[in-house]
Amino acid sequence: MDTQNPSAPTRAPGRIPADVPRAGIVHENVRHHSHFTVVGNHLAQHRELSGLAIGLGVHIQSLPAGARVDVRTLAARFPEGTSRIAAALRELEAHGYLRRERHRTPDGRVRTRTISCNRPGATPAPEEPRRQQKPKAKPLTVPHPEHRPSPTTLQAATDLLVGLHRADARLTLSRRDAERLAPGVVAWFERDLTPAAVRHTLTRDLPDDRPVRSPAALLAHRLTALLPPRTPAFGTPAPPDPVRHPLHNCDTCDRAYRGPEPGCCPPCRTAPRRT
C-alpha cells in the first residue's frame, strides 16, 4: 500500500525573481480605482501608537464628513470595548491625529466637533477648506412685481413653478427655489398673462437630450429675458378722434371747403382784397 508524504511539495518551486525578497512580506498589489483612502506611513507605521489606535486612525480617515466617531459608535462597530477604544482615541489625540473643538450652535447649545488630521502639524491648503465648505446658493435675479402680491397670488405662482416637472422632468425645483422664483412669475401675472401662458413660455424650446444643471437659474433667466411688455391698464381714456368739419361752399369762389362755419374758404380769406 502506497503512503503519501504530506510534506512533499505539490510542484517544484519556481525560480525566485531577483527583485523579490527571499524573506519577509511580499506585496501583491492591485491598483484601486474607487473606494480607497490614502493614508500616510507616519500613521500606518507609527512607532508609539498601539495597533488599535493605528487601526482606528485609518478607519476614521476613511469615513465621510459628518460620520459619528464617538466611543459608543466605534464600540458598536468593533469588538473592542469602550475602555480600550477610548484609550486609543486619546492616543490619536495626543499625537495630533484627532482634535476636539467646542462650538456654539445657533440655538445656543455647545457642541463638540471632532477633527481628523491626516497629517498632523501641516497646514491645509487654502483650496481644501473651500472644498469642504458647502457652496452657498447663488442669488436668483427675477423681475419684481410692481405691487405687493397677496399670499394667494404668491401661492399660485409657487404652485405653477413646482408643477413644471410635469412638462419636463429637468425642471424639477425644490420648494425653496420655487418660492425664490415666485415673485418673477407674479410680475408676469401683472402683465395679464394666464398661468398656462407662463407655463408654456418657461418650458418651450428646451435643448433636447441635454441635462439642465441648474433648473432654478434657467428659469430665472427666462423669467427676466422673456418678460413681456406691460399692457395698458384698464380704464385709460383713448385719444380723441380728429375733428372733421362739415363741407361748405365758398361765398367768393364757390368752391367746397371744410370749416366750422359757412363763409369764405381759407385761400379767399387770406387773399388780398381788390380795390
Residues 6+ apart with CB under 8 A from 50: 88, 91
Q: Right CATH number for 41-121 from 1.10.10, 1.20.5, 3.30.70, 1.10.1740?
A: 1.10.10
- Neighbouring-strand partners of residue 247: 258
Mean pLDDT of 226-236: 74
Long-range contacts of 203-206 (CB under 8 A, 24+ apart): 203/164, 203/167, 203/168, 203/171, 206/168, 206/170, 206/171
- Model confidence, pTM: 0.43
- Neighbouring-strand partners of residue 98: 116
- Residue ranges covered by each domain of the chain: 41-121, 151-225
Cβ count within 10 A of residue 216: 21
Name the residue with cell 427675477. 142
pLDDT tens by residue, 158-190: 999 999 999 998 999 999 999 999 999 999 999
pLDDT tens by residue, 109-154: 888 889 999 999 887 666 555 555 555 656 788 998 988 889 999 9
pLDDT tens by residue, 177-229: 999 999 999 999 999 999 999 999 999 988 777 788 889 999 999 999 999 98
Nearest Cα residue to 228 out of 203, 197, 183 = 197
Residue 272, pLDDT > 80, answer no
pLDDT tens by residue, 30-43: 988 888 889 999 99
Determine the Cα–Cα distance for residues 275 and 269; give it in Å rounded to an integer: 15
